Homo-oligomer: A and B are copies of this chain.
Amino acid sequence: MRYTIKDVARQAGVSISTVSRVMNGKSVKKATRERVLTSISDLDFHPDQTARTMIMKETKTIGLVVPQLSNEFWAMLSEVLQEDLWNKGYTLILCSTNHQLDKEEAFIRMFIERKVDGIIFISDSGNFNQSCYSPVEKIRNNKIPVVTMSPELPSIDCVVCDNIYSATNAVEHLIRLAHRNIAYIGGPAIPLDREMGYRKALLMHGIVVNETLIRRGPGQTFQFGYEKLNELLATNKTFSAIFCGNDPTAIGAIQALMDSGIRVPYDVAVIGFDDIPMASISKPALTTVRQPIRLLSKELINMLLSSIENNGESLGRKIMIPTELVIRESCGYGLNPRSNNNLFSANTIFGHRG
């Protein structure tokens, strides 16, 4: 049996309310306070959060759903979120669906039962119905503050990198390097806007989209990129560059190319998305779009906490975070290889886009 506030009160010869006051920093005579403090440390007493929660109506707990922890991007974002929230006095319950979408609902249910103060819901179900997505509906019905990275959901707060702009920017980089036959590897687990950005870049430069160069599938891993690239090779279509929806996919694609004796970047240029640590380590080092994780975390938390303060009022705010195109080796350096101006900043757009 653990000690309770009663034990402390008895030990210190005061009432339980006095002990409570000491713990909550309310005014107590100095001598009394010290006596209580001594008893607390003598007994190694820890106040029971559970009981406190029943009255305070707040758990100081945030629920986080991410698609996968073995993807470095989500792992790092989770870690930063946890740290930033901790510094603001919140504990994070981190749940990875590992791409099993049916778990999302189960996690949400658990969050509700545990009365989390807010939820950060990051789904890789890029294809959900625009007007209604059941787990999110459940959160809203329960009036729990929530923030997502899915701009498709109307009237739900959202913080996300500008996927369309970033993808367009990346593909334009390839176009500037004289590529015209550019493939895309993506799928429902990768934001659809990245494909849209790819299409937009081609359109802007009068390049006809070749649908056979677009490979989609349910995956998002190294393995997925490897397979899709081999599919692409099997079509016998011509392509000189590939834009991949995320880094693991890009690295898998590069591996498949190399296994087929195709040199990167000399024969085919490859570009990824996320800039996970692995991107700079793999050979050739991956040119990719960097999502600024610390900024993402900061904005997600700001938005969520402001929503908590306004007791769950969701304004449907959308914040777009800028990205950087980080140029490394995997698509060469084009016309000006000695340039060290290797960062192209995407626009920052705050607020809902018109």
A68 at the interface (CB under 8 A from B): yes
Instruction: Determine whether A47 belongs to the interface, using a CB cutoff of 8 Å to chain B.
Output: yes
Min distance, Cβ A263 to any Cβ of chain B, angstroms: 13
Quick one: CB contact mask for A32-58 with B, threshold 8 Å, 1 for yes?
000000000000101111110110000
Known A278-B278, A281-B255, A281-B278; contact A76-B83, beta-carbon cutoff 8 A: no
C-alpha spacing A251/B83, complex, angstroms? 27
A114–B52 CA distance with the chains assembled, in angstroms: 10
Which A275-313 residues have a C-beta within 8 angstroms of B?
Answer: 277-278, 281-283
Contact mask A243-279 → B, CB, 8 Å, 1/0? 0000000010001000000000000000000000110
Known: A50-B59, A54-B50, A113-B49. A79 touches B69 (CB 8 A): yes
A70 CB contacts on chain B under 8 angstroms: 72, 75-76, 79, 277
- Contact among B76, B109, B114 with A50 in the assembled complex (CB-CB below 8 Å): B114
Chain A interface extent, by class: 35 or more
Q: Does any Cβ of B come within 8 Å of A91's Cβ?
A: yes
A to B CB contacts below 8 Å, 19 in the list = A2-B143, A48-B113, A48-B115, A50-B53, A50-B59, A51-B54, A54-B54, A69-B75, A70-B277, A79-B98, A83-B96, A86-B103, A91-B93, A92-B95, A251-B281, A255-B281, A278-B278, A281-B282, A282-B282
Question: Chain B residues near A255 (CB, 8 Å)?
Answer: 281
Chain B residue nearest in CB terms to A96: B79
Residues from chain B with a CB closer than 8 A to the CB of A27 are none
Given contacts A79-B96, A82-B96, A96-B79, contact A44 B277 (CB under 8 A): no
A168 an interface residue at 8 Å Cβ cutoff?
Answer: no
A95: nearest chain-B partner, CB-CB: B82
Closest 10 CB pairs of A and B: A283-B283, A69-B79, A75-B75, A49-B113, A94-B94, A69-B75, A46-B112, A70-B76, A50-B53, A49-B114
A142 at the binding interface (Cβ < 8 Å): yes
A239 at the interface (CB under 8 A from B): no
Is A18 close to B, CB under 8 A?
no
Report the Cα distance A322→B102, complex, angstroms.
34
User: How far, in angstroms, from A48 to B113 measured CA to CA in the complex?
Assistant: 5
Q: Complex Cα distance A73/B223, Å?
A: 18
**Interface: A333 (CB within 8 A):** no
Residues 74-93 of A at the B interface (beta carbon under 8 Å): 75-76, 78-79, 82-83, 86, 91-93
Q: Cβ of A344 < 8 Å from any Cβ of B? A: no
A110 at interface, CB cutoff 8 A:
yes
Report A89-141 residues with CB < 8 Å from chain B CB. Answer: 91-96, 98, 103, 109-110, 112-115, 138, 141
- Interface 1/0s, chain A 1-26, versus B by CB < 8 A? 01000000000000000000000000
Q: A44, A46, A79, A142 — which one has the most chain B CB atoms within 10 A of its CB?
A: A79
